[in-house]
Amino acid sequence: MNLILFMALVTLFLSATFVGFYLWAVSSEQFEDLDTPAYRILKDDNKKGKRE
Amino acid sequence: MLAQWSTLNKSPFDTQKKVNPKWKQFSQPEIENQYCLSSDKAEKKFRFYLEGLQCSSCIHLVEELPGFEKEIIEARLNFAKGILTLRVKPTFLLGTACEMIEQLGYQPTPLKKESDLEILRNEEKLQDLKRIGVAGAIAGNLMLFSVPDYAGLAGTLKLNFQWLSFLIFLPLLIYVAQPFYRKSWVEIKQRRLSVDLMIVVALWAGFVFSSLSLMNDYGEIYFDSTASFIFLILLARYFLRTQQNRLLQTDIFSDIFKGEVFEVVEKHRAHFVLLDKVKKDDHLRLLRQQVLPCDGFLESEVCAFDLSFLTGESYPQIKHLGDKVLAGSRVLSADAILKAEASAAESHLATALRKISLNEENQNTIKNQSDLWSQYLTMIVFSLAALFFILTYQKLGNVEAFSRCLALITIACPCAIAFGTPLAFSLALRKAARNGFYIRSSSVFERLNRITKIAFDKTGTLTSSKLTLVKSEPAVLDDEVKSLILGLEKNSFHPVALSLKDIWAVTPIRCMPFVKEVVGQGVETFIEQENYKLSKDSTETDDGLLQVVFTVNDGLVAKLFFSETVQPEARGVIESCLAEKQSVMMLSGDRKSRAISVAAKVGIPVEETFFELTAEEKRKFIRENNPCLYVGDGLNDLLALKEAYASFAIKGSFESTLQVSDIYAPGKNLNAILEILALSKQVKKTVNGNLMFSVIYNILGGGLALFGLVNPLVAAVLMPISSVLMIGHTVWRLR
């Protein structure tokens, strides 16, 4: 029984952590743009040009 | 160019491209300040809306900007919204950034700092998202902790799980439900019942009942269902608010002048200002095609303006020194200097637009009515629940009676009326605005569904203000005469001139210097002592045609006869109206023969054609025939438009037309009537569909709840689902 309660508390702690992450993500406006980051990872980091 | 850059790794900047010279003005500190989102010693921040973004390669190209220009620290693009945010060094200028973006092949529009309202709305959105997240986590966890309970867990472990549920529920009660408390409190202070109050009562009833049940071990607890109920309600509301905010973000006046800068001429220097900085007594120099932002007086000798936005008349109008010119007029001459009468916000145009501002009247008429209905429903539900409890608690027992009442309060929801109806009208307004209609009040959609007659004005509505050359004397004009007439009319914007230039497009134009135009009279010039003149003939015959005479040294050379043309789409529109079983009439101030001939051309029966009516007679006629839709122009039909049950102005002065007409569609043709009638039908279908659904749902749900066939758990799930269905149905219908 104690183990189940312990697990329940761990679950609660985990979910509280994730809620915390979620609140942080909302506050830092990470849900403002859901499309561009997916394209951004395809970018070649080495390619740098110069303006003529 | 993009492909070239990707494959050859060349500079993506098209340095040959001529950039818009206006960007230079954006580098001026007073203008740049208004666009600078944050500024400190280390960096400045600008935002742009980019047109021309096509694919993911555009993201890479735009975000490479720091690689090409060292002064740019970072470039971040929001591809979905098309918004680019630039962080730059303090020495880097906004104008340069705009030029660079344009050279990349995109059209930038610098975005101003957000207004307080936008900041507030954004903050509210973030708070909503946080609450939804927390509510979702609470509801999910509570469900998990309830599973053992439903599976038949008993004893101490069950009690422990229930206490855990109680603890998890508390943040929902304290933090998540705050907006419901606030709204209910405001409504209670105003002595009104609201949907929010129902939600608060359901929430607290669920909490108190479950807590008592837990302490006294009655058995049933509803923490999980109450939390799911709140979570789903929050979701539904978030969706609703997103839809409404999108609607409220339309500011027609600022849209007209988006990104424009205006040159203010002072004694020793000229500087550029933005729309909101134009003030009284400023001397503005406007270039060709620029739109006047404020009402003002002309300081140039003479200048042609296109007033089509204000009057619906597409041909240009000549203004002279000292004449008043209204905001919204477009300059057609080389350039013009005007003295501002007042600021842009105080102009007639801005005032008129404010009147149809979507925040004001538009939302209220229907909303008040639906608020009232939802209050009635709330009252009925509460009374029914109380009555049910009093009558049945002895028979069913306190717990069961209370549980059924709770299910009733939870399941019965005036959502269709409280959310569905105003949303339907808001979406319809947005759709109409997007399609070029200016609508004074959303109640017009209701009224359009009640009309039985449609009355059309003739001149300028069924007929075009453009003239047709019917005949001439002599019947065939030689090219020499035509080219002389065209030479005289070369710089004129009179309908006669425009029609002739259109009809004789292939005839060469004779060079006629020093042509003088006398407004309302005609045009004339002297070449080597010879007087060439094209003027209106005052001796008009009775066949309703406009006559123009061309004379050389007062000797008649040619006579031209013009008639009005029937709008090409008029017949089709009238046939469609008749097919809809509407009775169609024509009212005209014109003579009998002309009116009947036009009516025959467009397909209006002779017995429904009324002629030789004065403006006052038209008004009386409309009053006797209400409920009727009057379609006219705002120039000479103001009385009739005002009297009609619903009115539609095809053109007219922006301000006066909007004051009397329900719908105004400058720049659209008669088909707009069918368009708006179809839209109002769609609104009716949507609202009726919602109400029907709501009635069936509430009677069925309420009945099942009172008979104990639906417990509060199911009720809590059903109610938000019904809201989402309703909103979804509305959005789908009016998409």
Chain A residues touching residue B81 (CB < 8 angstroms): 33
DSSP string, B294-311: S-EEE-SSEEEEE-HHHH
Are residues B63 and A40, on separate chains, in Cβ contact within 8 Å?
yes
Of A8, A27, A36, the CB nearest to B164: A8
Percent of chain B past pLDDT 90, that is, above it, reads 8
Interchain contact, A19 vs B134, CB within 8 Å: yes
Alpha helices by DSSP H, listed for B524-610, are: 570-579, 592-602
Q: Give the Cα separation of B488 and B491 in Å (integer).
A: 8
Q: Which of B465-469, B500-504, B730-734 is most confident? A: B730-734
Facing residue for A51 by CB, picked from B69, B78, B157: B69
Q: How far apart are CA A52 and CA B728, in angstroms?
A: 52
CB contact under 8 A, B5 and A49: yes
More confident site: A47 or B471: B471
The pLDDT value given to residue A52: 38
CB atoms within 10 A of CB B250: 14
Q: Which of B9, B80, B168 sits opposite A49 (nearest CB)?
A: B9
As to burial, measured by CB atoms within 10 angstroms (0-12 exposed, 13-18 middle, 19+ buried), residue B626 is middle
Q: How far apart are CA B459 and CA B456, in angstroms?
A: 9
Helices and strands, number each (H, E), in chain A: 2, 0
Across B472-496, average pLDDT = 82
**Nearest-CA distance A19 → chain B (Å):** 6
> Which pLDDT belongs to residue A44?
64
Contacts of B13 in chain A (CB under 8 A): 51-52
Q: State how far the Cα of B134 lies from the Cα of B610, in Å rounded to an integer.
A: 67
| DSSP per-residue codes, B490-546 | TT--SHHHHHHHHHTTTSPPP---S-EEETTTEEEEEETTEEEEEEE-SS--TT--E
Residue in chain A closest to B129 (alpha carbons) equals: A26
CB contact under 8 A, B126 and A26: yes
Task: Name which of A19, A27, A50 is nearest B68 (Cβ-Cβ).
Answer: A50
Residue A5 to chain B, least CA–CA distance (Å) = 8
Cβ B11–A40 below 8 Å, yes or no? no
* pLDDT for B539: 61
Nearest-CB residue to A39 (from B59, B64, B67) = B59
Q: Pairing state of beta strands B530-536 and B438-439?
A: unpaired
Closest to B142 in 3D by CA, of B200, B228, B232: B228
The pLDDT of residue A24: 95
The structure tokens listed for B715 are 């009720």
For B11, the closest of A35, A44, A50 (CB atoms) is A50
Decide if B137 and A8 are in contact by the 8 Å CB cutoff.
no
Distance CA B32, CA B44 (A): 10
Q: Which tokens sit at B346?
A: 């105080």
Per-residue pLDDT for B247 more than 60?
no
pLDDT digits (tens, 9 = 90+) for B173-204: 999 999 899 988 988 888 777 778 888 988 89
Q: How far apart are CA B560 and CA B477, in angstroms?
A: 10
Cβ distance of B79 and A35 shorter than 8 Å? yes
Name the strands in the sheet holding B530-536, side by side, starting at the edge strand that comes first in the sequence: B463-473, B555-566, B546-552, B530-536, B522-527, B516-518
Q: Kindly state the tokens that stand for B610.
A: 């009324």
Q: How far is B712 from chain A, CA to nearest CA, in Å?
A: 25
Indicate the residue of A15, A40, A44 with minimum beta-carbon distance to B141: A15
Q: Are the beta carbons of B679 and B664 closer than 8 angstroms?
A: no
Question: What confidence score (pLDDT) does residue B493 get?
Answer: 61
pLDDT value of position A16: 94
Let me know if B270 is exposed, middle or buried by CB neighbors in 10 A (0-12, 13-18, 19+): exposed
> CA B523 to CA B516: how far, in whole Å?
6
Q: Which residues in chain A have Cβ-Cβ distances shorter than 8 Å to B101?
A: none
The rounded distance, in Å, linking the Cα atoms of B7 and B15 is 19
**In contact, B102 and B20? CB cutoff 8 Å:** yes
User: Which of chain B's residues have a Cβ under 8 Å away from the Cβ of A11?
Assistant: 141, 144
State the complex-level ipTM. Answer: 0.83
Whether A5 sits inside 8 A of B63 (CB atoms) is no
The dihedrals phi and psi of B562, each to the nearest 5 degrees, come to -120, 150
Whole-number pLDDT of residue B454: 92
- CA B723 – CA B423 distance, rounded (Å): 12
Task: Collect all residues from A whose CB is shorter than 8 A from any CB in B.
Answer: 1, 4-5, 8, 11-12, 15, 18-19, 22-23, 26-27, 29, 31-36, 39-40, 42-44, 47-52
**What pLDDT does B367 receive?**
56
Q: How would residue B359 be classed by pLDDT, with cut points 50, 70 and 90?
A: very low
Q: Which residues in chain A have their CB less than 8 angstroms from residue B67's CB?
A: 48-50
Residues of chain B positioned with their CB less than 8 A from the CB of A36: 59, 76-80
Q: What is the mean pLDDT of residues B81-99?
A: 88
Scanning every residue of chain A, which has its alpha carbon at the shortest distance from the alpha carbon of B145?
A8
Cβ distance B64 to A49 less than 8 Å, yes or no, reads yes
Q: Which of A20-29, B246-255, B424-433 has the lowest mean pLDDT?
A: B246-255
Q: Looking at the predicted structure, is the pLDDT value of residue B337 above 70?
A: yes
Tokens of B196: 């929010």
Q: Are B647 and B641 in contact (CB under 8 A)?
A: yes
Residue with tokens 């946080």: B130
Contacts of A15 in chain B (CB under 8 A): 137, 140-141
Instruction: Give the DSSP H or E segment for B273.
Output: strand B270-274
CA distances from B609 to B311, B565, B644 (A): 27, 18, 18
Lowest mean pLDDT among B12-16, B220-224, B492-496: B492-496
The dihedral over CA atoms of B12, B15, B18, B22, expressed in degrees to the nearest 10, equals: 80
- Which of B498, B495, B501, B493 has its CA nearest to residue B517? B493
Q: Can you tell me the distance from the alpha carbon of B671 to that of B178, in angstroms, rounded to the nearest whole number?
A: 49
In this complex, do A22 and B133 lie within 8 Å of one another by their Cβ atoms? yes
For B168-269, strand residue ranges (E) read: 261-265
- Look at B376-380, B437-441, B477-481, B519-523 and tell me which has the smallest mean pLDDT: B519-523
Q: Of B166, B174, B163, B176, nearest to B137 (Cα)? A: B176
Distance between CA atoms of residues B685 and B75, nearest Å: 47
Burial class, B519, CB count within 10 angstroms (exposed 0-12 / middle 13-18 / buried 19+): exposed
Exposed/middle/buried for residue A45 (C-beta within 10 Å: 0-12, 13-18, 19+):
exposed
Q: Which residue has the tokens 């042509």?
A: B515
How far, in Å, CA of B697 to CA of B364, rounded? 27
Show residues of chain B in contact with A50, CB under 8 Å. 11, 67-68
If we measure between CA atoms, which residue out of B317, B257, B228, B301 comes closest to residue B718? B228
Mean pLDDT, residues B98-111 taken together: 86
- A42, B56: Cβ pair inside 8 Å? yes
Q: DSSP letters of B402-417? A: HHHHHHHHHH--THII
Q: Which of B125-134, B375-384, B623-632 has the lowest mean pLDDT?
A: B375-384
Angle between helices B361-396 and B195-216 in degrees, nearest 10: 30
Instruction: Residue B136: count other Cβ atoms within 10 Å of its Cβ.
Output: 19
Whether the Cβ atoms of residue B93 and residue B81 lie closer than 8 Å to each other? no
pLDDT score at B678: 93
Mean pLDDT score of chain B: 80
Beta-bridged to residue B265, according to DSSP, are B270
Residue A47 has pLDDT above 70, yes or no: no
Question: Is residue B714 exposed (0-12), middle (13-18) or buried (19+ Cβ within 10 Å)?
Answer: middle
Among A13, A31, A40, most B C-beta atoms within 10 A, so best to mutate, is A40
Most confident of B2-6, B208-212, B468-472, B714-718: B208-212
Q: Which of B69, B81, B141 sits opposite A12 (nearest CB)?
A: B141
Backbone angles phi, psi at B288, to 5 degrees: -55, 140
Closest chain A C-alpha to B56 CA, distance in angstroms: 6
- A-B contacts (CB, under 8 Å): 84
**A42: closest CA of chain B, how far (Å):** 9
CB contacts, 8 Å: B137 with chain A? 15, 18-19, 22
Strand B296-298 relative to strand B335-340, pairing:
antiparallel
Collect all residues from B whose CB is shorter than 8 A from any CB in A: 5, 9-13, 15, 56, 59-60, 63-64, 67-69, 76-81, 126, 129-130, 133-134, 137, 140-141, 144-145, 156-157, 160-161, 164, 168
SS3 B78: strand
Q: With pLDDT > 70 as the criterion, what percentage of chain B qualifies?
A: 86
**A49: closest CA of chain B, how far (Å):** 6
Residue of B nearest to A43 (CA): B60
Q: Determine the Cα–Cα distance for residues B371 and B362; give it in Å rounded to an integer.
A: 15
